[in-house]
Amino acid sequence: MQLGTTSLVIVSVITVVGALCLLVAVGLRRQVLAAGEGTVSMQAIAQAIQEGAAAYLSRQFRTLALFAVVVVALLTLLPGDTGVRVGRSIAFLFGAGFSAAIGYLGMWLAVRANLRVAAAAQVPGPVEGRRAEGARIAFRTGGVVGMSVVGLGLLGAGVVVLVYRADAPAVLEGFGFGAALLAMFMRVGGGIFTKAADVGADLVGKVEQGIPEDDPRNAATIADNVGDNVGDCAGMAADLFESYAVTLVAALILGKAVLGEQGLVLPLIITAIGAFVALLGIVITRTRAGEDGLRAIYRGFYVSALVGTGLAAIAAFVYLPGTFAEIEGVAAELVTSTSDPRLVASGAVVIGIVLAGIILAVTGYFTGTTSKPTLHVARTSRTGAATVVLSGIGVGFESAVYTAGIIAAAVCAAFLLAGGSVWLALFLIALAGCGLLTTVGVIVAMDTFGPVSDNAQGIAEMSGDVDADGAQILTELDAVGNTTKAITKGIAIATAVLAATALFGSYADAVTQSLTKITDPASSGIVASMLTFEIISPVTLVGVILGGATVFLFSGLAIDAVTRAAGAIVFEVRRQFRDHPGIMTGQTRPEYGKVVDICTRDSLRELATPGLLAAFAPIAVGFGLGVGPLAGFLAGAIGTGVLMAVFLANAGGTWDNAKKIVEDGAYGGKNSDAHAAVVIGDTVGDPFKDTAGPAINPLIKVMNLVSVLIAPAVVAMSVPADANHVLRIAIATVAAAIAFGAVILSRLRAAQVDEAEELEKEVGLV
């Protein structure tokens, strides 16, 4: 298949649009940095946060560079055309580099915008004006990151299509893999850092010492604010970029298989529309007089989503013909279809955008400060921490069912729209993901709003330079930010499921293409069972179980890592309070740097284990059991992953906002027994919503992409019956040893850390 002149012109224009998005991001960045920087005290606190965040990300990227080199070497060993293999390896580096750049940009600007939001609340003037200005700065900060996500995504995909033409989908597998792998590492590492500091600060500061959350006497406050940026800003920005890249990759692979040249170009057109939608949403999101900030953000999202739907429909009707038979290179099963491809494509985009809107509403309901579930969790604080934890778990489980059901309904709608064609349905699911991601610019802005407003409140409280009205403004913005963070996590999960489902189809396409190249596909017995996709096969069910188990193990490792790191923070903060009594009276400055160093050390130490598990588990299953069980493995990971991710994210968000309700004065307010109970609930929820839950999104996509990449090699070693079984089993054994060896080493390291802490306690060092 060769791309025609019209398609090349369209892709060239899309590539230019990507570059223009980056210029728009530069303009928005200047607007943010032009705002006032507040008092000298505020600037000093912000400087400490900036230095801590930059130091952490620099050390993290140096660590991840080693992984990148190893992966590039492995990618070159995969079977296939030499040019494609080299291009895929280069694309991997660009995908990883873009993901890192997005994460660093999100952090760099957020640690400067938080100061400006705090300053906006401190400037004398009407309360409404101060609130609107603070919200504008926080949202525009996210807008910079959002436009950068769209710009780099379009630029990377456009350049690859222009250079590799029909081979672009295979090369873009590397681009998506690089983006997903780095995002997973940033999610895990940043999540461990931020939640270790947050949990440690809350347990010692709020519960034991009875001081406010961001009191400068707490040695963990600076690390907590640093963590908000390396976890929520850098991690989430990288996560949404990889969602954008991976969804686009899946759509291009399936589009080429189903609709030929036009199927390859259409997803690029749909995602390019997102550039205009993102800019519109950022510009129109303004807080009106007397209006809640969350309502303004909702309005911006829904208006931009409606405009995106209309533009996508227009693009489909202009670009596609009226029948499938008129499309050159269309799949044979669609030639006789009576459906209108323009309506089918438009319907898929509508499904994706409607899905995003419904997820936004449902997540907001389960986590918002004025919703019944969160109010219920806050009420349970009257009977202690145990009931707070139990009620939050219940809300998380219930919300997971509804959210998973909504996503399943969207997948079914795409299947019905395809008229029963499985391959067309898979392409439409990918196209629905592209439709959902037309709003990615606004989604990123919503997410960044949260940590920026949270940090702004911390800076204001630590500096003491903001009056009562300003403090209330920042508290309200922080509560809005908690909800927007939970919402964007929900949307990111929905995107992950759509992308993973589409990649599931890409995996099947890779297997099918590989089987057609085998001269003697005849096989029997065990080998035949390894190649079947029938779910009733016992060995395929084994794959399903292993896929679900991997999600549980990954989540457990992430939460356990936070537990260990948080324990080290608790000991350090307690030591400082005990050894330096002047801290509580304000005469002695806490040693903030020691806590930042502990968080950095522990998060980077725990980084490798989840990553090795994600990368090598599918290799072990694929080469050990075959492509059929590997398909089951992916299905189990997707099904378990969506439920686990929603449960963790929504339970954590509910606990966080229940704490806000009590801190605003309900059930005794701050320093009451109810407050201590909700603080415990919030600390349980911290690693749920900001470490394990969000990291599941890139996890399932990394495992899917690894499976797509290794599928041809697995098929080649499985058929015919006597082909390279010794090598196949050897590869599976080594992969399993690496994955589970990393887990065992993590457990041994944890035991050593626990023994060291006990020794320190005995000799009186802590």
Single-letter amino acid code for the residue at 141: T
* Dihedral sign (CA 548, 550, 556, 559): negative
How many CB atoms are closer than 10 A to CB 32? 23
What residue ranges in 648-727 does DSSP mark as E strands?
none
For residue 524, pLDDT beyond 50: no
Of 200-204, 541-545, 558-562, the range with the highest mean pLDDT is: 541-545
For residue 599, pLDDT beyond 70: yes
pLDDT at 618: 93
Give the length of the chain.
Answer: 766
pLDDT digits (tens, 9 = 90+) for 442-489: 888 887 887 888 888 888 888 877 888 888 888 888 878 777 777 777
Q: Which of 552-561, 701-710, 717-726 has the lowest mean pLDDT?
A: 717-726
For residue 301, pLDDT beyond 50: yes
How many CB atoms are closer than 10 A to CB 369? 19
Mean per-residue pLDDT for 41-58? 84
Mean per-residue pLDDT for 236-253? 83
pLDDT at 336: 78
pLDDT digits (tens, 9 = 90+) for 620-668: 999 988 888 998 999 999 999 989 999 998 999 899 889 888 988 889 8
Angstrom distance (rounded) from CA 223 to CA 231: 12
DSSP states along 517-535: T-S-----THHHHHH---T
Mean per-residue pLDDT for 24-35? 90
pLDDT at 386: 93
pLDDT at 108: 87
pLDDT at 527: 54
Mean per-residue pLDDT for 372-383? 93
Angstrom distance (rounded) from CA 213 to CA 225: 11
CA atoms within 13 Å, Cβ hemisphere of 390:
8
pLDDT at 350: 92
Angstrom distance (rounded) from CA 375 to CA 541: 41
Reference 496, options 553, 580, 436; nearest CA is: 436
Assigned token pair, 200: 């440690």
**Helix residue ranges per DSSP H, 580-626:** 582-585, 592-605, 608-625
Of 118-122, 368-372, 535-539, 544-548, the range with the highest mean pLDDT is: 544-548
pLDDT at 695: 85
Mean per-residue pLDDT for 521-538? 60
* Dihedral sign (CA 490, 240, 411, 627): negative
Mean per-residue pLDDT for 28-52? 86
311 — pLDDT class (breaks 50, 70, 90)? very high
Query: Which has the higher per-residue pLDDT, 605 or 535?
Result: 605
Angstrom distance (rounded) from CA 232 to CA 248: 23
Assigned token pair, 679: 């603080």
Query: Which has the higher per-residue pLDDT, 557 or 720?
Result: 557
Contacts by residues 521-526 (CB-CB < 8 Å, ≥ 24 positions apart): 521/719, 521/720, 522/720, 522/721, 523/718, 523/719, 523/720, 523/721, 524/721, 525/721
- Rg of the chain over Cα atoms, rounded to whole angstroms, equals 25
For residue 765, pLDDT beyond 50: no
Assigned token pair, 486: 């939970």
How many CB atoms are closer than 10 A to CB 185? 29
Contact 700, 216 (CB under 8 A): no
**DSSP at 76:** T
How many CB atoms are closer than 10 A to CB 533? 15
Q: What percentage of the chain carries pLDDT values higher than 90? A: 17
* Angle (nearest 5°) at CA 279 between 278 and 281: 65
How many CB atoms are closer than 10 A to CB 622? 32
For residue 766, pLDDT beyond 50: no
**DSSP at 92:** H
Contact 224, 400 (CB under 8 A): no
pLDDT at 620: 93
760 — pLDDT class (breaks 50, 70, 90)? low
566 — pLDDT class (breaks 50, 70, 90)? confident
Of 96-100, 206-210, 499-503, the range with the highest mean pLDDT is: 96-100
502 — pLDDT class (breaks 50, 70, 90)? confident
pLDDT digits (tens, 9 = 90+) for 178-208: 888 888 888 888 888 888 888 888 788 777 8
378 — pLDDT class (breaks 50, 70, 90)? very high
Mean per-residue pLDDT for 424-441? 86
For residue 388, pLDDT beyond 80: yes
Of 79-88, 321-330, 359-368, 634-643, the range with the highest mean pLDDT is: 634-643
